[in-house]
Structure formats: structure tokens, C-alpha cells
Amino acid sequence: MYQLDVCHKPPTDQCRPAVHDNIANAPHKRKTKKARSSRKKLFENSSLENMTEKVTHLLPGFLQKLHSANLCYDFCNFINLVCHKFPLTNIALVLFLDAVRWYGLPITSMMTYKEDTMKFWRVV
């Protein structure tokens, strides 16, 4: 094994790194405060019962919007497929849900991406 020689004497110009003074006198990085959202998050830390109640309350207006955009049949078909055979790891679904999360953030710089999303964008 190799042993490193350690300088046991007080630092001199010969054993002290040249950048030592620059590091000691460098300004400290300013700590930024996290932005606190005044908006309530719809489903954060909610139990399944609370989420079900909130979705049940929102569903009529949601379906009305989808119906007016002629998307209601496709959405209902999607729900049926998710319950039976649609893979939840499908990259199109993962990217869509990332877009949903992005729109739900009060500050877009707070967005963090899932590992699968990052892998997708590296390949593309």
C-alpha cells in the first residue's frame, strides 16, 4: 500500500496549497429561502378517503369540461384501461403526469423530474 506524506509542520509556502488563501477568504454561498406557497395543494399528504372525496366533488365539472372538448369518451376509456390493463410505467403516461405536476406548481423552478423522465430525455 502507498502512504501519503503528511505535513506535520506549520504550513509554509512549500507544503501549503497555493489556493489555501483564496478558499479561506472566499465569500460564502448565500442561502436561499424556499418559496412558500400560499396556494393549497389539492392532494398533498391526503389519505385515500380524502382524495376520493375531493375527486368526487370535482368530477362533475371535470367531465363537463371534457365533454365540451369532445374528450369525455377517451378519458373514460383511459380510466377503464388503467383499472384493467394499462401499464402505469408507460412513458407517455409518466411524461403526461410530469406535465400535470409542472402546471400544479406555484413556481416552475420547483419542478423535479422522475428518473424515467430523465432517462427518456437523455435518449431523445
30 domain-assigned: no
More confident residue, 99 or 1: 99
Give per-residue pLDDT as tens, 83-111: 999 999 999 999 999 999 899 898 888 88
Residue 42, pLDDT score: 55
Helices (H) then strands (E): counts for the chain: 5, 0
Residue 116 placed within a domain: yes
Q: Are 72 and 80 contacting, i.e. CB atoms less than 8 angstroms apart? A: no
**Is 42 within the bounds of a domain?**
no
Q: Are 113 and 120 in contact (CB under 8 A)?
A: no
Give the pLDDT score at 31.
Answer: 60
Query: Looking at the domain assignment, is residue 31 inside a domain?
Result: no
* Domain, as residue range, for 81: 47-86
**pTM for the whole thing?**
0.55
382524495: which residue's cell? 51
